[in-house]
Amino acid sequence: MKCTDRKKKPFKVGVLSVVKHDYLPRAIAAHPRFSLSFVSDDISRPEWTHERNQKFADEFQIPYIKDIAAAIKDNQIDAVAVSPEAERHCELAIIAAEAGLHIVVDKPLSTNTHKCDKLIDAVNENGVSCLIWNRNYLPALIQANQKVSSGEIGKLLSLHCDFYFSKDAGPPIGSRKPNDPPIEWLDRQLEAHSDGSDGGVGTEAMGELEVEGIYPLAYIQMLTGGAKVNRVFARTKSHFHQAHFDNNVDDLATVTLEIEGGITGSLSIGRIGAASHPDIGEIKLHIIGTEGSVVISEARPEVSIHYRDQPMAEFKNQRIADQNNYLLAENFARSIDGTEKPILDCIEARDICATVSAAIESSKEGKPVNVDNRKK
């Protein structure tokens, strides 16, 4: 760990939409090297987005400007925190990059590699930094990375991630009556905001692989030292939730990964329902090297707390010493300083997007699919 350089003047940050979870702009606001200047979004956005943006702006006592171009032009800012609907992440990040602003953007970057490529070009042309939100600084991930990068387990041969979020997503599959209309994706996501399970908020329906797959794939990306996934084979299914079934997106998926350097990997991922785990979910890494192997539980360290009249929905095991958000913000500050690379940059996130797209295609076709990685 390194000290935060408190002598440097804080970077001024504009928040470009905060309609999903607000953990990202909150993390930036909580870090001493950043200060929030405004929240902005386009006036043409639907009313519910304005309500959420205004609420966040009010809490932080900063203006809400319903014109992104004007907000950027009229305020001297260094960077933006981008947290709109999932399908707009790339679009707003591109606007910022073209304005010469550093970017921290929520995950997933996009479901479309062409949009990612446009962002990468804008980032390169304008010499700005771009960090995509991830969980690579969780204590267990830091431990796993130290074990692998130190060479202690020898050459990496195989790694596997089990990534199950025990979140609900509306009514269970099979609950829709014959004459009921299919569930509208956006309606369901708006409803899910209250319990924070609206990771795929927007009009574009996204499956679990598209919304959350970036987390485990970013683990694999980090632990392999940036090795590319060359080919995938996948199975996907709408198994739990009516909203996923009605919108033809997965909530359960398995992916075989063939990775550069002769590494094999796999991912099993699902939004398995709140009843299926006492906490946020079973999340594990299994890593095999030529000289040793590692089993890591992403949740550790944690404490267990049980008491009479405990609310059913309260996690019985609580994660502790989780500094992921602070360390991501620190990494963003250092990447703006030019002293550190973003722990997950837009090129890496773009190739993760390509891996996810290939997995979805593989599942539809029932055969392995090559990953369309960005050409070097």
Partner 1 sequence: MTRLAFQLSSYQEEFLIAASWIDEIKVVSIDENPDAIVTDNTDIKSNEKSVLLFGSLPIEGKSLITPALPKRFSPEVIALRESLDAGNLGELGLLRMHLWNQKKSDRVQEMVHAIDLALWFFGANPEYIHGAASAEKEVKCSLIHLGFKCGGMALLDFTNSLPTGDNYESLSLIGSKGAAYSDDHRNRNLFFSGGAPGAKCPDIRMNFIGPMLKDFTQKIQTGADLESNSKSYNTAFNIFSEVRQKYYFK
Size of site (CB under 8 A) for partner 1: 41
Residues 325-344 that bind partner 1 (CB under 8 A): none
88, 239, 244, 319: which one contacts partner 1 (CB under 8 A)? 239
Phi, psi of 232 (to 5 degrees): -135, 155
Single-letter amino acid, residue 259: I
Which residues lie across from 83 on neighbouring strands?
Answer: 18
Please tell me whether residue 355 binds partner 1 under the rule CB under 8 A: no
Is omega for the bond preceding 108 within 30 degrees of 0, making it cis? yes
Give least dist CB 258 to partner 1, A: 6
Smallest CA-to-CA distance from 132 within 102, 154, 98, 173 is with: 102
Distance between CA atoms of residues 189 and 186, nearest Å = 5
Alpha-carbon radius of gyration of the chain: 20
Give least dist CB 113 to partner 1, A: 23
Of the candidate spans 3-11, 21-29, 220-228, 291-299, the one that interacts with partner 1 by CB under 8 A turns out to be 291-299
Please tell me whether residue 317 binds partner 1 under the rule CB under 8 A: no
Environment class of residue 222 by beta-carbon count within 10 Å: exposed (0-12), middle (13-18) or buried (19+)? buried
Smallest CA-to-CA distance from 99 within 116, 64, 74, 133 is with: 74
Taking the CA atoms of residue 225, residue 229, residue 230 and residue 234 in that order, the dihedral angle to the nearest 10 degrees is 160
Please tell me whether residue 202 binds partner 1 under the rule CB under 8 A: no
Give least dist CB 149 to partner 1, A: 18
Please tell me whether residue 297 binds partner 1 under the rule CB under 8 A: yes
Residues 96-155 that bind partner 1 (CB under 8 A): 155
Closer to partner 1 by CB, 14 or 270: give it: 270
Residues 152-171 that bind partner 1 (CB under 8 A): 155, 157-158, 160, 162, 164, 166
Give least dist CB 350 to partner 1, A: 24
**Residue 170 backbone zone (phi > 0: left; psi -120 to 50: alpha; other: beta):** left
* Positive/negative CA dihedral, 26, 209, 46, 130: positive
Extract the tokens encoding 61. 């006592």
Please tell me whether residue 272 binds partner 1 under the rule CB under 8 A: yes
108, 139, 270, 342: which one contacts partner 1 (CB under 8 A)? 270
Please tell me whether residue 295 binds partner 1 under the rule CB under 8 A: yes
Q: Which residues bind partner 1 (CB under 8 A)?
A: 155, 157-158, 160, 162, 164, 166, 172-173, 233, 235, 237, 239-240, 252, 254, 256-258, 262-264, 266, 268, 270, 272-273, 275-277, 282, 284, 286, 288-290, 293, 295, 297, 366, 368
